[in-house]
């Protein structure tokens, strides 16, 4: 039976949680969180403030979605340490959950909040270790073939299907090697055309994008490559050269690149890929490098990162045309 909540003389439909696929303008009361909420559609992409991480961290791995995310590992600047911490995000706040077996920075991840994969990184030295997350605990599984850190990777999909490319081993070098994970083991595939480290990635094992990064010498790249499941092809460049940027996206036709570092400064620029070209969109509020790669091109998360020190703050990207749920009031 439908129930209603009265507010200032009006009645609003009561739900035990949020409704599935609410229509634009719909207002409801969430009985579980005691919040009045409404649905709206964005007309232009923008970043907004999210919940802060419990520990200031940069170069963490990430998995999941904007409202159900996982961030793991990374580097803590004070006191300096390679972290094994894992935090879970519910769209509002971060909660510490069980630690990884190996503390490391510069690792990458893919999957969901309840079934994720973490791989590579620097502990030191570079590592090939891969760990699987079941929603409660991490378990070591088969290693990468090539130990490395600061590589690109798929950002969406499942823990049993991942792709990673480029990276560094030893620090300061650039790699071209590509590997794919099938749920059991890693297999080497065709190399990137441009060897590099500190690049970003987006997509899945059969349709991915690699962009930005650093060559063996310091600096930033604009080079973008498209993966079709078997080979890499160079396509149109980023507008802003940078390394240590972050990426999100569902495939090689739609991606988001944000943040980074080049020319002695941390970057706030955000660019949107439409399958052919990059377009500059709204900047991050806080310029940063090395934030976690989480989400899609329309609903992404910049969690933590680095700007002279490790950061705790999180920003949420909502792309044009995306439906978002907002809180009206609490009771």
Domains of the chain, CATH where assigned: 3-41 (no CATH), 46-318 (2.120.10.80)
Return the pLDDT at 4.
Answer: 42
For residue 4, the cross-strand partners are: 13
Task: Give the span between the Cα atoms of 21 and 309, in whole angstroms.
Answer: 39
Task: Give the span between the Cα atoms of 128 and 306, in whole angstroms.
Answer: 24
Residue by residue, DSSP assigns 276-331 as: S-EEEEPPPSS--BS---EE-SSEEEEES-BSSSBB--EEEEE-TT-EEEEEEEE-
Return the pLDDT at 142.
Answer: 98
Q: Which CA distances in Å does 227 have to 37, 66, 153, 244?
A: 40, 25, 11, 20
Question: CA nearest 87: which of 105, 101, 99?
Answer: 99
Can you give the pTM of this predicted structure? 0.84
Q: In degrees rounded to 5, what are phi and psi of residue 145?
A: -75, -35
Q: Residue 266, Cα to own-chain centre: how many angstroms?
A: 18
- Where would I find the H helices in 122-256? none
Q: Which CA distances in Å does 290 have to 41, 107, 304, 305?
A: 29, 11, 8, 5
Return the pLDDT at 158.
Answer: 87
Residue by residue, DSSP assigns 74-133 as: EEEETTEEEEEEEEEE-SS-EEEEPPPSS--BS-EEEE-SSSEEEE--BSSSB---EEEE
Task: Give the span between the Cα atoms of 208 and 228, in whole angstroms.
Answer: 7
Instruction: Give the pLDDT of the chain (331 residues) as one tens digit per residue.
Output: 455 444 555 676 787 777 766 665 667 777 777 766 665 544 468 999 999 999 999 999 999 999 999 999 999 998 899 999 999 999 999 999 999 999 999 999 999 999 999 999 999 999 999 999 999 999 999 999 999 999 999 888 789 999 999 999 999 999 999 999 999 999 999 999 999 999 999 999 999 999 999 986 677 999 999 999 999 999 999 999 999 999 999 999 999 999 999 989 999 999 999 999 999 999 999 999 999 999 999 999 999 999 999 999 999 999 975 554 555 545 5
Q: Which CA distances in Å does 121 have to 85, 152, 183, 241, 267?
A: 14, 11, 19, 23, 23
**For residue 187, what are the contacts with CB-CB under 8 A and spacing of at least 6?**
145, 179, 180, 181
DSSP class of residue 150 equals: S
């Amino acid at each position: 039976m439908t129930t209603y909540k009265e507010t200032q003389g009006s009645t609003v439909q009561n739900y035990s949680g949020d409704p599935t696929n609410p229509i634009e303008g719909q207002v409801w009361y969430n009985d579980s969180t005691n919040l009045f909420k409404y649905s709206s559609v964005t007309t232009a992409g923008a970043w907004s403030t999210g919940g802060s991480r419990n520990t200031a961290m940069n170069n963490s791995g990430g998995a999941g979605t904007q409202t159900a995310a996982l961030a793991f590992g990374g580097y803590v600047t004070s006191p300096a340490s390679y972290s094994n911490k894992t935090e879970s995000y519910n769209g509002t706040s971060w909660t510490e959950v069980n630690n990884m077996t190996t503390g490391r920075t510069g690792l990458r991840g893919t999957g969901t909040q309840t079934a994720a994969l973490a791989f590579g990184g620097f502990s030191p030295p570079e590592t090939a270790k891969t760990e699987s997350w079941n929603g409660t605990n991490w378990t070591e599984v088969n290693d990468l073939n090539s130990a490395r850190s600061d590589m690109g990777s798929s950002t969406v999909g499942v823990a049993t299907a991942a792709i990673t490319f480029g990276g560094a081993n030893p620090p300061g070098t650039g790699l071209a090697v590509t590997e794919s994970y099938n749920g059991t083991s890693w297999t080497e595939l065709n190399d990137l055309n441009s060897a590099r480290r500190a690049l970003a990635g987006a997509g899945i094992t059969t349709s991915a994008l690699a962009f930005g990064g650093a060559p063996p010498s310091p600096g930033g790249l604009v080079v973008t490559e498209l993966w079709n499941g078997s080979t890499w092809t160079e396509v149109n460049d980023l507008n802003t050269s940078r390394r240590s940027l972050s990426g999100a996206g569902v495939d090689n036709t739609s991606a988001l690149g944000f943040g980074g570092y080049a020319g002695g400064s941390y970057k706030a620029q955000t660019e949107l890929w439409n399958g052919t070209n990059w377009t500059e969109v709204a900047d991050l509020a806080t310029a940063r490098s090395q934030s976690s790669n989480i989400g899609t091109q329309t609903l992404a998360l910049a969690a933590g990162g680095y700007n002279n020190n490790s950061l705790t703050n999180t920003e949420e990207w909502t792309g044009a045309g995306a439906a978002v749920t907002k809180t009206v009031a609490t009771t």
